[in-house]
């Protein structure tokens, strides 16, 4: 209990950020019309591609003798990029459909 | 200085993610929202590559990094550009799986680093009261590993199911098996973190493989048509996995981006279920698809006899109507009949018939499926009416042509409280003078239930594959 | 410029909290029906009464010889409490009207 | 340990504020939302009193603290419980002013502390490179002072205007004067913070007094009816002042609570303006009230002649109608005629007439004014129809009785693009068979414009104070 409280106290800023972000995430989505569900899912999918930053850090820190880290990191960078680039491009294509119809 | 600039860039990127997501949820701004988020992402990535420092040292291995990014960009762009409209959900699933894999790979490498501190360094760390820090670190690594792996494996299965290369597969007691599997994973993870045992590496890899296995078994039994919901759920998983990375590197943009997607994705999953009038548990346990036969049997009592209509009668009826509504459904997508459908519509319009489409929000197998499908065939946007509008119009409509739709016009949703789709708003096609239903047989649709509409006096059946029937219908009308 | 960036960097957590809170504040209010404008204003009014915590700290830290601090602090505690208590009670009364009509 | 618990309590309180505010914005959960926030506030306050520590020292002066809280609680509760329904906005304004005063007082005391460090300590601090820290500290103190004082003075003026004890007052060029005043305040504040001059105390108090003055002049020229908007704006100011306190003490709950109200209050202010179809600048510069005479003149061309109706004719018309709608407006509140109105309604109902109320969202002088007013007279909720519903019903209505409403039934909002209320949705009373308008004269309402409705063939005027007229009408109907 005491440990937990002190942990909370030490990490209070991060906790605030996480909690507020959860509220933001929920509120921002709240009013989406159902036609936009799929593009929204796809856009959110692209955003979590931010995990690629972790892959870049892993890759960039890997010692040139550490083959495991190099290879896994390289794959991580590739798949992460796939997530980001593919995600944004496919979302854009979906939304192109909608805007084309609008005009 | 550089690090401070990087912090600022991360802050900007976090804000673009929020703003982007917000814009994405409004039709008019959606496309720009996607771009805003993409710009933020670019800033964050370039910033990391060029500005990141750890203990004063810059990142190295630029060749590998740029190589990886180049490969990913080319492959990702091509894949995303080439994919057919209707195959987009599976593409999203695949990309989502890549994100999960990325998170899992990061955990693998970081664990490897941690393991190689052993035994000397680790001992020192543990002695030095830093045990809690190591455990916290390990907790995050293991969490990222589990969630990332489940998301990766699950997404790949979902992708396979959607493109048809993987078939449904389930065995009796699978749900119990799944729960047990999850319990074992959690127990192993707790053991690993709390006791830091000597065979940590072995346990870690066991957790890894079991998580992959869990991802597979988690998605396997779920009906193919429920995949969009599952993908959305896995999407939010990957968000949480990315957030783990944020904790690991004390990196705010990963943290906020991940949490944002985790929260938004969870809500989106729930909203998607709601649009289909189902609960998330219902989707995950998949009772829907499984219970179909009994539901049919139960509804059997209401069944009478249906009447068929010939192609030429249909042709006459439609050409001399003044107002026709087309109700597209999943069958139209399966038959890839959108172009033929547009052709019919243009032909009728040229004969002075007023033709419109009535779009049910959950027709097809993904939200917006019909909009995307018809847009591909260049059907003008003004011709697509939403459910509420269409329902106001049916009473003055001469002919409603239902093309491969079933559940979305099933009156049981209004009249039969025992029906699994009870309560779902439907298209009130029966208000029109004539209803013509095109499908291949009398088989039920997605919900697996009988449709009384087919036996009503106003309804005539026009059997056959939607594309073939439409092409013949066009020919027939031209010959009139 | 450099100073600004380093300031941002040092206070990044607080900045995140402030920015996210602004988003939350805006999103949370977004869908309010106009009948609720006044109670909502009143409720928000009560919430900013949290400033009383500052008054309590001022008061509690004041040396017993520092009359200025004691007197100003005392007034601050009173007006702060007025804001909080009055705010919540008056909001509750307004909303009572609405709920009474509902039953 | 205690401090950690306090941090946790603050976190909980912040969450309750968000959740409470969210619940407050939905009718069904609003009341509980207020309670949730109140519980969080109580936690935060009690936690601060008993757990707060600074450099190891607990808070002292418990007697003073509890004394202050006791006085505040008793006075606040009594005031809030006793206030009349219709006087609630001014009460809110007063409480808001108290919050602003609290923030300003905190700044005064903290500045006093800072000033008494001089000259020795401050010199040391400044030498020691801590100058920036001191300046940052001072910046926050001065910000809190300015915003708190403006909010305090402005709220008191708003309160006085609403309860009628302070009259509108403005002079030519007041807006320019205001801007100059603000510029002086900002310049003094910048000078104080950047140069830390020797006469700092003098400058500080000058800023204090100028801020109070600015608050007064800021609110003075604004029309009395615009006060709800101004109060909402000052409300968000106080939120920002509270957030300054959060920075000052590095106190997360003050920071988050203050920012939350600052952001939400700003949006709410904008929403309130929108509901009245005006812009915030328009409200603040107050061109509306000022330009009234010219607007009347401009609309003068459309004016014809109106016809009156006698009390007995009205009585007959209403008792033999089958469906009557009452449109309440600001005049009903002024006349405090809600009880008489309810009596009329009950009397008519007992004669078999179907009586309902049509509530325009901005009728009266605060949002929800009519709901609150009629609820006070125990009018059942089902009888109150919102504008959209009511507009659907008017075409089948026999008599619409307008009680002290004007702008909300002005057809110019639909037909005259030059009208200041053009675009505001109105109640379409002209769809009904008869329209009876009760007001005291032909004078315009809040927007200061002529109302063509009064000259239309269907409309009859029934002049007099609403309460008096209603009482006489009731007597008349009883005698029929
Ligand atoms: N939109 C979404 O987001 C989403 C996601 C998941 C699930 N769902 C669910 O999917 C259902 C959608 O309803 P729906 O009416 O569009 O589809 P449906 O109820 O699944 O019915 C589709 C019908 O199309 C017919 N069909 C199949 N292939 C055909 C072909 N080649 N030519 C002509 N007809 C063909 C089938 O009958 P035959 O076999 O006799 O030809 C079937 O009855 C709803 O229950 C909804 O809840 C929707
Ligand atoms: N609801 C809000 O949040 C809010 C806030 C600020 C401003 N406003 C504005 O206020 C206006 C509200 O429209 P409204 O139609 O309710 O009011 P209104 O347009 O202000 O008209 C009120 C009418 O009531 C009459 N009246 C005054 N005292 C009376 C009495 N004792 N007995 C009978 N009649 C009396 C007045 O005419 P006589 O003098 O001839 O009697 C006046 O024309 C809108 O323009 C709105 O934008 C609303």
Q: Which domain holds residue B142?
A: 86-286
| Helix (H), strand (E) counts: chain D | 20, 8
Residue nearest to atom 5 of ligand 2 (CA): D365
What pLDDT digit, counting tens, does each position of D246-276 carry?
999 999 999 999 999 999 999 999 988 887 7
Contact B59 A101 (CB under 8 A): no
pLDDT above 50 (res C5): yes
User: Cα(D334) to centroid of ligand 2, in Å?
Assistant: 9
Best CA proximity match to B350, nearest among B319, B326, B380: B319
Contact D15 A19 (CB under 8 A): yes
Residue with tokens 């249906």: B306
- A31 contacts: CB under 8 Å, gap ≥ 6: B25, B26, C30, C31
Residue D157: inside a domain:
yes
- Work out the pLDDT band at D303, boundaries 50, 70, 90: low
What are the two backbone dihedrals, phi and then psi, of residue B464, each rounded to the nearest 5 degrees?
Answer: 135, 165
Residue D336: inside a domain:
yes
Q: Are D59 and D90 in the same domain?
A: no
| B256 touching C (Cβ < 8 Å) | yes
Asked if D243 and D254 count as a contact pair (C-beta separation under 8 A), the reply is yes
Query: What's the whole-number mean pLDDT along residues D21-27?
Result: 91
Of the residues B368, B371, B374, B378, the best mutation for testing chain A's interface (the one with the most A CB atoms within 10 Å of its CB) is: B368
Q: Are D49 and D102 in the same domain?
A: no
Q: What would the DSSP string read from start to end of B220-246?
A: TTS-GGGHHHHHHHHHHHHHHHHHHHH
Cα-to-chain-centroid distance, residue D50: 35
| C18 touching B (Cβ < 8 Å) | no
What's residue B297's pLDDT?
40
Question: Residue B393 is part of a domain; what is its CATH number?
Answer: 3.40.50.1220
Residue B295: inside a domain:
no
User: How far is residue D190's CA from residue D194's CA, in Å, rounded to a whole number?
Assistant: 6
Cis geometry, peptide bond prior to residue B117 (ω within 30 degrees of 0):
no
* Token output for B457: 């006096």
User: How far is residue D38's CA from residue D20's CA, in Å, rounded to a whole number?
Assistant: 8
| A71 touching B (Cβ < 8 Å) | no
Asked if D398 and D324 count as a contact pair (C-beta separation under 8 A), the reply is yes
| B12 touching C (Cβ < 8 Å) | no
- B121 contacts: CB under 8 Å, gap ≥ 6: none
- Pocket residues for ligand 2 (CB within 6 Å)? D 225-226, 228, 276, 329-331, 334-335, 362-367, 369, 404-408, 438-441, 443, 445-447, 465-466
* Token output for C81: 């409490």
Q: Are B19 and B100 in the same domain?
A: no
Neighbours of B395 (CB within 10 A): 11
| B13 touching A (Cβ < 8 Å) | yes
pLDDT above 60 (res D300): no
Q: Is the dihedral of CA D307, D310, D316, D322 positive or negative?
A: positive
Q: Are B348 and B402 in the same domain?
A: yes
Query: What's the whole-number mean pLDDT along residues C70-96?
Result: 94
Neighboring chains of C (3 or more beta-carbon pairs < 8 A): A, B, D
Q: Are B149 and B24 in the same domain?
A: no
| B264 touching A (Cβ < 8 Å) | yes
Q: Are B221 and B317 in the same domain?
A: no
* Token output for D184: 């002086």
Closest atom, ligand 1, to C-alpha of B272: 3
Q: Residues of chain D with pLDDT > 90: what percent?
A: 57
The number of the ligand nearest the C-alpha atom of B447 reads 1
User: How far is residue D438's CA from residue D65's CA, in Å, rounded to a whole number?
Assistant: 54
What's residue B291's pLDDT?
40
Segments in D307-393 forming alpha helices (H): 311-319, 330-334, 338-350, 369-376, 387-393
Label residue B270 exposed, middle or buried (CB < 10 Å: 0-12, 13-18, 19+): middle
What's residue D419's pLDDT?
76
- Pocket residues for ligand 1 (CB within 6 Å)? B 225-226, 228, 276, 329-331, 334-335, 362-367, 369, 404-408, 438-441, 443, 445-447, 465-466
By Cβ distance, the residue of D45, D79, D112 closest to C69 is: D112
Calculate the CA dihedral of residues B185, B191, B193, B199 and round it to 10 degrees.
Answer: -100
User: How far is residue D455's CA from residue D436's CA, in Å, rounded to a whole number?
Assistant: 12
Residue nearest to atom 1 of ligand 1 (CA): B362
pLDDT above 70 (res B207): yes
Asked if B472 and B446 count as a contact pair (C-beta separation under 8 A), the reply is no
User: How far is residue D479's CA from residue D208's CA, in Å, rounded to a whole number?
Assistant: 65
Contact D257 C47 (CB under 8 A): yes
- D291 contacts: CB under 8 Å, gap ≥ 6: D420, D448
Closest atom, ligand 1, to C-alpha of B276: 47
Residue D295: inside a domain:
no
What is the per-residue burial (b if ≥16 Cβ within 10 Å, else e) of D177-203?
ebeebbeebeebbeebbeebeeebeeb
Assess whether chains D and B touch, using the rule of 3 or more C-beta pairs within 8 angstroms.
no
Segments in B52-173 forming alpha helices (H): 62-82, 88-117, 120-125, 131-162
User: How far is residue B441's CA from residue D118's CA, in Å, rounded to a whole number?
Assistant: 92
Q: What would the DSSP string read from start to end of B341-390?
A: HHHHHHHHHHTT-EEEEEE-TT-SSSTTHHHHHHHHTT--GGGEEEHHHH
> CA geometry: angle at B311 spanning B305 and B314, to 5°?
80
Q: What is the ipTM of this complex?
A: 0.82
pLDDT above 50 (res D291): no
- B84 contacts: CB under 8 Å, gap ≥ 6: none
Best CA proximity match to A86, nearest among B88, D40, B261: B88
Calculate the CA dihedral of residues D451, D452, D455, D460 and round it to 10 degrees.
Answer: -50
Best CA proximity match to B453, nearest among B410, B401, B407: B410
Q: Are D322 and D279 in the same domain?
A: no
Residue D427: inside a domain:
yes
Asked if D357 and D326 count as a contact pair (C-beta separation under 8 A), the reply is yes
User: How far is residue D276's CA from residue B319's CA, in Å, rounded to a whole number?
Assistant: 51
pLDDT above 80 (res D122): no
* Token output for B210: 């079991």
CA distance to partner chain D, nearest, from residue A19 (Å): 8
| B85 touching C (Cβ < 8 Å) | no
User: How far is residue B370's CA from residue B361's CA, in Å, rounded to a whole number?
Assistant: 9
E strand or H helix at B435: strand B434-439
* Token output for D242: 């509270």
Q: Are B100 and B189 in the same domain?
A: yes
Inter-chain contacts counted by CB atoms under 8 A, chains B and C: 32
Query: What's the whole-number mean pLDDT along residues B407-433?
Result: 85
Q: What is the mean pLDDT of chain D?
A: 87
User: How far is residue D468's CA from residue D447's CA, in Å, rounded to a whole number?
Assistant: 25
What's residue B257's pLDDT?
96
**Domain stops at, among B53, B82, B111:** B82
Residues of B marked as catalytic: 407
pLDDT above 70 (res B126): no
Q: Which residue has the higher pLDDT, B447 or D353?
A: D353
User: Cα(B377) to centroid of ligand 1, in Å?
Assistant: 19
- Residue numbers in B near C5 (CB within 8 A): 1, 4-5, 7-8
Q: Are D50 and D108 in the same domain?
A: no
Pick the range with the lowest mean pLDDT from A48-57, B75-84, B112-121, D214-223.
B112-121
Listed by start position, the domains of chain A span 1-31, 34-103
Residue nearest to atom 11 of ligand 2 (CA): D446
Q: How many domains does chain B divide into?
A: 3
Contact C14 A17 (CB under 8 A): no
Label residue D396 exposed, middle or buried (CB < 10 Å: 0-12, 13-18, 19+): exposed
Report CA Rg, chain A: 19
Residue B297: inside a domain:
no
Residue nearest to atom 28 of ligand 2 (CA): D331
What's residue D119's pLDDT?
56
Residue with tokens 């939010």: B236
User: How far is residue D449's CA from residue D300's CA, in Å, rounded to a whole number?
Assistant: 9
pLDDT above 60 (res C102): no
Q: Are B169 and B242 in the same domain?
A: yes
pLDDT above 80 (res B145): yes
- B101 contacts: CB under 8 Å, gap ≥ 6: A75, A76, A79, B148, B152
Contact D7 A23 (CB under 8 A): no
Q: Are D78 and D98 in the same domain?
A: no
The number of the ligand nearest the C-alpha atom of D229 reads 2
Q: Are strands D434-439 and D459-463 parallel, antiparallel or unpaired?
A: parallel
Inter-chain contacts counted by CB atoms under 8 A, chains C and D: 379
What does the DSSP 8-state code read for residue D401? E
* Token output for B113: 């680093």
What's residue D139's pLDDT?
93
What's residue B118's pLDDT?
56
- Work out the pLDDT band at B300, boundaries 50, 70, 90: very low
Q: Residues of chain D with pLDDT > 70: what percent?
A: 92
What does the DSSP 8-state code read for residue C83? I
Contact D256 A16 (CB under 8 A): yes
pLDDT above 90 (res B386): no
pLDDT above 90 (res B438): yes
Packed helices B88-117 and B131-162: angle between N→C axes, nearest 10 degrees: 150
Task: Report pTM.
Answer: 0.83
């Amino acid at each position: 209990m005491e440990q937990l409280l002190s942990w909370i106290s030490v990490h209070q800023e991060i906790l605030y950020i996480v909690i507020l972000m959860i509220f933001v995430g929920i509120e921002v989505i709240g009013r989406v019309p159902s036609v936009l569900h799929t593009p929204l899912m796809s856009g959110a999918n692209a955003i979590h591609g931010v995990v690629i930053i972790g892959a870049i850090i892993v890759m960039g820190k890997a010692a040139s003798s550490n083959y495991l880290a190099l290879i896994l990191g390289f794959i991580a960078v590739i798949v992460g990029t796939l997530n980001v680039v593919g995600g944004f491009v496919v979302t854009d294509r979906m939304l192109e459909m909608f805007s084309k119809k609008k005009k | 200085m550089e690090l401070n600039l990087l912090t600022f860039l991360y802050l900007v990127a976090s804000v673009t993610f929020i703003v982007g997501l917000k814009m994405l949820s409004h039709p008019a701004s959606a496309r720009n929202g996607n771009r805003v988020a993409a710009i933020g992402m670019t800033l964050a990535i370039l910033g990391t590559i060029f500005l990141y420092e750890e203990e004063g040292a810059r990142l190295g291995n630029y060749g590998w990094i740029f190589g990886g990014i180049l490969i990913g960009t080319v492959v990702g762009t091509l894949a995303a550009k080439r994919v057919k409209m209707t195959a987009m959900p599976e593409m999203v699933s695949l990309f989502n799986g890549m994100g999960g894999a990325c998170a899992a790979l990061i955990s693998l490498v970081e664990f490897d680093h941690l393991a190689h501190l052993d035994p000397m360094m680790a001992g020192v760390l543990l002695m030095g009261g830093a045990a809690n820090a190591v455990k916290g670190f390990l907790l995050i690594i293991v969490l990222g590993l589990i969630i990332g792996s489940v998301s990766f494996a699950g997404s790949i299965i979902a992708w396979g199911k959607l493109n048809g290369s993987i078939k449904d597969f389930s065995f009796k007691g699978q749900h119990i098996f799944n729960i047990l599997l999850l319990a074992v994973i959690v127990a192993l993870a707790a053991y690993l973190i709390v006791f830091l045992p000597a065979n940590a590496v072995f346990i870690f890899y066991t957790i890894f493989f079991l998580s992959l296995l869990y991802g597979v078994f988690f998605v396997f039994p779920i009906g193919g048509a429920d995949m969009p919901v599952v993908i959305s759920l896995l999407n939010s998983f990957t968000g949480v996995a990315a957030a783990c990375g944020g904790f690991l590197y004390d990196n705010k943009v990963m943290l906020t981006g991940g949490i944002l997607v985790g929260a938004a994705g969870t809500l989106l999953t729930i909203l998607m279920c709601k649009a289909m009038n189902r609960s998330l548990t219902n989707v995950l346990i998949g009772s829907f698809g499984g219970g179909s036969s009994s539901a049919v049997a139960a509804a059997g009592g209401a069944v009478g006899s249906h009447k068929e209509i010939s192609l030429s009668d249909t042709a006459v009826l439609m050409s001399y109507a003044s107002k026709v509504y087309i109700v597209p459904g999943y069958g139209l997508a399966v038959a890839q009949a959108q172009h033929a459908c547009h052709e019919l519509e243009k032909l009728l319009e040229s004969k002075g018939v007023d033709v419109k489409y009535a779009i049910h929000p959950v027709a097809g197998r993904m939200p917006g499926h019909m909009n995307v499908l018809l847009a591909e065939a260049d059907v003008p946007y003004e011709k697509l009416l939403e459910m509420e509008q269409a329902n106001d119009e049916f009473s003055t409509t001469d002919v409603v042509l239902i093309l491969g739709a079933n559940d979305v016009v099933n009156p049981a949703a209004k009249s039969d409280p025992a029906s699994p789709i009870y309560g779902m708003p439907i298209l009130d096609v029966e208000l029109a003078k004539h209803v013509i239903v095109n499908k291949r047989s009398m088989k039920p649709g997605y919900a697996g239930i009988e449709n009384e509409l087919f036996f009503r006096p106003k309804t005539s059946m026009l059997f056959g594959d939607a594309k073939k029937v439409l092409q013949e219908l066009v020919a027939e009308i031209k010959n009139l």
